[in-house]
Homo-oligomer: A and B are copies of this chain.
Amino acid sequence: MTIRIDDSLMYRDRLDGLHGLDPALRDTMEERFQVIRADIAGRRKSGEYGFESLGRQDAVVASIEQWAALQRGRFDHLLILGIGGSALGAKAMLTALKGSAWNEWDAGRRDNWPTLTVLENVDPVTVLGTLDRLDPRRTLVNVISKSGGTAETLAQYLIVREWLDRSVATDAKDHLVITTDPERGALRALAGSEGITTFAVPPEVGGRFSVLTAVGLVPAAILGIDIAELLAGAAEAVDAALADQLADNAAARWAMLQWQAHATRAANVHVLMPYSDRLRDFAEWYRQLWAESLGKRLDRDGTEVFRGPTPVGAVGATDQHSQVQLFIEGPFDKTITFIRICDTVDMLTIPGRDGLGPDMSYLVGKTLGGLLDVQFVATREALRSQGRMSSTIEIDTLDARTLGHLFMFFQLATGYAGAWYGVNPFDQPGVELGKVLTFEAMGKDGF
């Protein structure tokens, strides 16, 4: 197993005896799980679970790798135009596997892999700064929109296209790669008429489930990330989540516990708290996945229910000095899921000096990674003793394979959570009204 999950601290008998979930759930949920499984099996046939097959895409990997190899050395910068599901996955991958300060390394220390800038907003200050900073002659622009009609991304495209045209003129199309629907939408039409390289997003995979499609794999390959390993990890997660008993199925069980905590213990806030800076953007990716999938007005029968937990990201140990006071002493309205990475525990010995007082001398000879891990254990125990529910996901090392596993684990868990919550986790009807009002105000035809 690439990842291990301990969810024992979700249960009352392991907490303070007062708070937490009924231990009987360990048994009583098995029967309901079989109903959930049957329901999902039916929906799988109707195509809702397209993302589950993303662990095995040999032809896609080969075509992306072949194309990416041809780009190697041509560019210093990768500029992504995309928002939401078209942005969060690439950011999460870069931060996890290359570090959040990647762009600040010189080219040699990046082994000449490009920097990454993601334009995920229409803030003109950010866009102007970015175009001022990057050299268009050394920039590859990846325009990403599953539908091909996202207003923010198309507006960015028009601005960036003019910027390219001014500097690289007729070569602009060699600086562009488009990731969009295989047939439909404005970007697909544009790519066809101009001969721009495109990669297709499978129509049966939703935007927030698309990190393991070309949406995430094209940037990953350009940045030197092993995309075959990402998918191998994802395939492992899919295999694990097919287990037909809840006791053996960590993704379904973790989802059940989050739902039960919400439904029976009023825990409407679900915190993901990796003890690692490298997973900070992963927590942002999770936030979209969990919020947009489960935040729904209607249940599967069309009854008005207004469901959905609020996902919150945190990073240990940093947030011990920010959010943990609230987690420990505030209302009993939260679950916390920690992520612990084991192979950093022995890293970076703390050196001594002469004349250190007792506030510092106890640190000498310990490792910084050990201090981080001790803080994780201490914080979990402090929360436990105050009756606060938590789960822990443990991985040995953070590499492309475990990251792919984590992505797919949370996607599978989200699918299961939709079933437990009784909502459709694959649509997002609530954002339509805002889009319509935006189109009206911008004077788009037909609005």
Q: Which of B125, B155, B316, B330 has a CB less than 8 Å from the CB of A347?
A: B125
In A308-346, which residues have CB < 8 Å from any B CB? 308, 310, 312, 315-318, 320-334, 344
A154 within 8 A of B: yes
Task: Give the complex CA separation of A296 and B371 in angstroms.
Answer: 27
List 20 contacting pairs A-B, 8 Å CB cutoff, sorted by A.
A83-B318, A88-B322, A105-B133, A121-B315, A123-B278, A124-B372, A127-B368, A154-B359, A158-B363, A158-B364, A269-B269, A291-B330, A292-B325, A295-B326, A306-B330, A307-B331, A329-B429, A363-B442, A375-B438, A381-B434
Q: Which of B125, B129, B186, B308 has a CB less than 8 Å from the CB of A329?
A: B308
In A58-102, which residues have CB < 8 Å from any B CB? 83-85, 87-88, 99-101
A6 within 8 A of B: no
Q: A431 with B321: in contact, given A306-B331, A374-B438 (CB under 8 Å)? A: yes
A169 within 8 A of B: no
A57 within 8 A of B: no
A29 within 8 A of B: no
Task: Give the complex CA separation of A357 and B328 in angstroms.
Answer: 54
A53 within 8 A of B: no
A130 within 8 A of B: yes
Task: Give the complex CA separation of A360 and B185 in angstroms.
Answer: 11
B321, A434: Cβ atoms under 8 Å? Answer: no
A434, B308: Cβ atoms under 8 Å? Answer: no
A359, B321: Cβ atoms under 8 Å? Answer: no
A328, B430: Cβ atoms under 8 Å? Answer: yes
B128, A347: Cβ atoms under 8 Å? Answer: yes
User: What chain B residues lie within 8 Å of A287 (beta carbons)?
Assistant: 322-323
Stretch at the interface among A234-242, A348-356, A409-417: A348-356
A377 within 8 A of B: yes
A243 within 8 A of B: no
Task: Give the complex CA separation of A123 and B272 in angstroms.
Answer: 17
User: What chain B residues lie within 8 Å of A355 (beta carbons)?
Assistant: 193
Chain A contacts to B: CB under 8 angstroms: 83-85, 87-88, 99-101, 103-105, 109, 115, 117, 120-130, 132-133, 148-149, 151-152, 154-159, 161-162, 185-186, 189, 193, 207, 268-269, 275-278, 284, 287-288, 291-292, 294-297, 306-308, 310, 312, 315-318, 320-334, 344, 347-348, 350-353, 355, 357-360, 362-364, 366-369, 371-372, 374-375, 377-379, 381-382, 385-386, 428-431, 433-435, 437-446
A358, B288: Cβ atoms under 8 Å? Answer: no
User: What chain B residues lie within 8 Å of A115 (beta carbons)?
Assistant: 104
B101, A185: Cβ atoms under 8 Å? Answer: no
B321, A306: Cβ atoms under 8 Å? Answer: no
Name the distance in Å between A271's Cβ and chain B's nearest Cβ.
9
User: What chain B residues lie within 8 Å of A193 (beta carbons)?
Assistant: 355
A324, B362: Cβ atoms under 8 Å? Answer: no
User: What chain B residues lie within 8 Å of A104 (beta carbons)?
Assistant: 103-104, 115, 133
User: What chain B residues lie within 8 Å of A315 (beta carbons)?
Assistant: 121
Name the distance in Å between A253's Cβ and chain B's nearest Cβ.
23
B438, A128: Cβ atoms under 8 Å? Answer: no
Q: A154 with B360: in contact, given A331-B306, A371-B442 (CB under 8 Å)? A: yes
A434, B379: Cβ atoms under 8 Å? Answer: yes
Task: Give the complex CA separation of A437 and B440 in angstroms.
Answer: 57
